[in-house]
A and B are shown apart, each in its own frame.
Chain A
Amino acid sequence: MIYDVVILGGGPAGLSAAVEAKKDGAENVLILERDRELGGILNQCIHNGFGLHTFNEELTGPEYAERYIHQVTDLGIPYLLNTMVLDLTDNGDLKTIHVINEEDGYTVIQSKAVILTMGCRERTSGAIGIPGYRPSGVFTAGTVQRYINMEGYMPGKEVVILGSGDIGLIMARRMTLEGAHVNAVCELMPYSNGLVRNIVQCLDDYDIPLKLSHTITFIHGKDRIEGVSVSQVDEKMKVIPGTEEYIPCDTLLLSVGLIPENEITRNAGVEMDDRTNGSVVGELRQTSIPGVFACGNVVHVHDLVDFVSEEAVLAGKGAAKYVKGTLDTNVTFTTVNGNGISYVVPQQVAMKNVEENVTFYMRVRQVFKDRVVNAYIGDQLVATKKEKKLLPAEMVNFKIAKELLAQYPAGEIRFVVEEAKK
């Protein structure tokens, strides 16, 4: 059997993309998931705060996942669990997906279109090179989240957290609730990498100190971690001598960033963006290989699952259009990261596929106050997005109406952070 759309990953992006592809007329849709159940990372994110944009209510991760799993089962979309995708190859009109699972062994699945929704994984201690020993008791925050929330293991009682990403903040609260003492959250940057609301409800609520411009300079303990040396850093992120402080602990959590999981994407030969570590995508999340789409954290790391679901709808639409032969391939605009902007997704826009507007997702390079993000085509200002505060941790959603863009024939859309004009 040849599928219309096969989706690699049954997390929030994959579920939402599958639902949309099916609703838009793709007939044979299949989801491949390597875990024991659908839902992806949402299954371990038992905290509330999901779905305020999508469902206008505050859900926990598993509740949010179930909303989409119900849609998938109601539409009769099949899925394979415990199934690992090994490789994706492009044979022109057909894509070949090489998969393995316990029941069928190694199998080959063929599909007209593929949507990549593999998500991301955590940066580890190896990726950041902390000096000191390599004892047990050093975990990524997401690993501990899974241990506590799903497996029922508590990894320690005296905790230090390095990095102020959202998972680290959420785990500071979670471990406190379960009886641990969180000594501090250390952040190398002079600002937090997590959402402000998480600083308030996870750290401030429990009097957990957030040490900005601080890093760990040594891990002590040979078999089990016994403590960490924490030092202050200057504006160039160099350690300030004499600021070192020893904090005893039995557990160190790392919340130092996420990396899109793109081995399959790279092997398939999809064009990548160095800034996002994800593929270069168009307005309907089409990649450089016709018929291969990508959305969610595998394209760029999102702050909120709601925006993952939103982006996945675009990929689902795109894949359905591709299968029906109605996807336009002429790129009208490419996007450029101007001053203050670290990345923009999508990197390309084919105007004929645009319905009412294009939402550009972007991140700023540093903290800005009372600035605007401007979009230029050539030297013409096309649109302005006002923000009271721009933070690298909070993705900017910049929606531009089709009719505004349609006034320009083609070219580059350049996004720039500028002073607000009075």
Chain B
Amino acid sequence: MIKELTCITCPMGCQLTVVDKNDDGNFEVTGNTCKRGPKYAINELTNPTRVIPTTVVVRNAMLPRLPVKTAEPIPKGKIFDAMKVINQVVVDAPIKSGDIIIENLLGLGINVVSTKTMAKC
């Protein structure tokens, strides 16, 4: 098996080639310019994941939305289920960047955290 991928770990966008000679999961990755490339490529072929940046409703802050993200990447197949859960959350200011907004999202063991400090006003 040979697969071509664009690495999305950073804005460099390296073109990666993944070869699995005997189709036994021994991946050989080339085209990367840093060590994050092979990790991304293997992950992308076995269990693709993404960090989800989105917002939740916040009350008593300068603006009605608080930006949040999953603290770790979650499986791609769970993205829309995650959005459903995140979109039901309402929080109250004050909030600090890094505060946990949802614990253990969808039982994945991954938290949703705030990415902005919002004062009460």
The tally of residues in A whose CB lies under 8 Å from a CB in B reads 35
- Given the known interface contacts A52-B10, A60-B115, the answer about A47 and B63 at a Cβ–Cβ threshold of 8 Å is no
Interface residue A263 (Cβ < 8 Å from any Cβ of B):
no
Q: In the complex, what's the smallest C-beta–C-beta distance from A44 to chain B, in angstroms?
A: 9
A60 contacts which chain B residues (CB < 8 A)? 53, 67, 69, 115
Out of B50, B57, B83, B116, name the residue touching A66 (CB < 8 Å): B116
Say which size band chain B's interface belongs to: 20 to 34
- Closest CB of chain B to A254's CB: distance in Å? 22
A413 touches B (CB below 8 Å): no
Query: A304 to chain B: which residues have CB within 8 Å?
Result: 11
**Contacting pair B10 A152 (CB below 8 A):** no
Interface window among A8-16, A193-201, A237-245, A288-296: A193-201
Residue pair A152, B53 in contact (C-beta under 8 Å):
no
Q: A49-B11, A52-B10 in contact; A151/B55 too (CB < 8 A)? A: no
Q: Are B57 and A47 in contact, with the CB atoms below 8 A?
A: no
Q: Which of A43, A46, A150 contacts B54 (CB 8 A)?
A: A46
Q: Does A48 contact B (CB under 8 A)?
A: yes
Q: In the assembled complex, which residues on chain B have CB atoms less than 8 Å from the CB atom of A200?
A: 6, 8, 13
CA distance A46 to B52 in the complex (A): 10
Tell which of B11, B50, B65, B87 touches A205, judged by Cβ atoms closer than 8 Å: B50
Determine the distance from Cα of A52 to Cα of B40 in the docked complex, in whole angstroms.
15
Contacts of B116 in A (CB 8 A): 43, 62-63, 66
Question: A52-B11, A177-B54 known; A197 and B6 CB under 8 Å?
Answer: yes
Q: Which residues of A contact B64 (CB under 8 A)?
A: 151-152
Given A62-B97, A197-B6, A205-B50: A149 and B55 interface contact (C-beta under 8 Å): yes
Are A388 and B65 neighbours in the complex by a CB distance under 8 Å? no
| A:35-53 near B, CB below 8 Å | 36-37, 43, 46-49, 52-53
Complex-state Cα separation, A195 to B6, whole angstroms: 11
B26 close to chain A: CB less than 8 A: no
Give B12-26 as 1s and 0s: 1 = Cβ < 8 Å from A's Cβ atoms: 010100000000000
Q: Contact check, B117 vs A196: say whether CB atoms are below 8 A apart.
A: no
Q: Is the CB of B97 within 8 A of A195?
A: no
A 353-370 binary contact with B (CB < 8 Å = 1; else 0): 000000000000000000
State A372–B35 Cα separation when bound (angstroms): 25
Chain B residues closer than 8 Å to A90, beta-carbon distance: none
Could you tell me the distance between the alpha carbons of A200 and B67 in the complex, rounded to whole angstroms? Answer: 23
Within 8 Å of chain B (Cβ to Cβ): is A310?
A: no
Binary CB contact string for chain B from 50 to 80 against chain A (1 if under 8 A, 0 otherwise): 1111110100001111010100000010011
Shortest Cβ distance from A115 into chain B, in angstroms?
A: 26
6 extra A-B contacts, CB within 8 A, seeds A49-B11, A178-B87, A200-B13: A58-B51, A66-B117, A149-B55, A150-B65, A303-B11, A304-B11
A-B contact pairs, 5 of them (CB 8 A): A52-B11, A53-B10, A195-B11, A196-B13, A201-B8
